[in-house]
Structure 1
């Protein structure tokens, strides 16, 4: 089940991932040497999206 919290966290992490990719491309274009920082931020944000949306313990229990 998708919750409002899950959607909000995914949206925030997508924004962070986009910013990381943008900074990596800008660092490559302007030769600042910081492209790995941007790629690392983007990779961690995408990992966060996966961890937020994949349930490790199975589906949530229905409360009575």
Structure 2
């Protein structure tokens, strides 16, 4: 399955896109620069449990 992203580039949308990008940076830049909590980092580094990939389990 191929996913394609359609991006419409109407000239009327450019100011809105710029405004939205700016506002998102204002709201979330500080959060994006925070360190990753150690517990979350450990989960990411460990990867997923192979059992969870084969069958649904309640521990995942």
TM-score in terms of structure 1 length: 0.30
Higher relative contact order (CA 8 A, sep 6+): 1
Structure (1 or 2) with the larger CA radius of gyration: 2
- Normalised by the length of structure 2, the TM-score is 0.31
Judging by fraction of residues, say which structure has more helix: 1
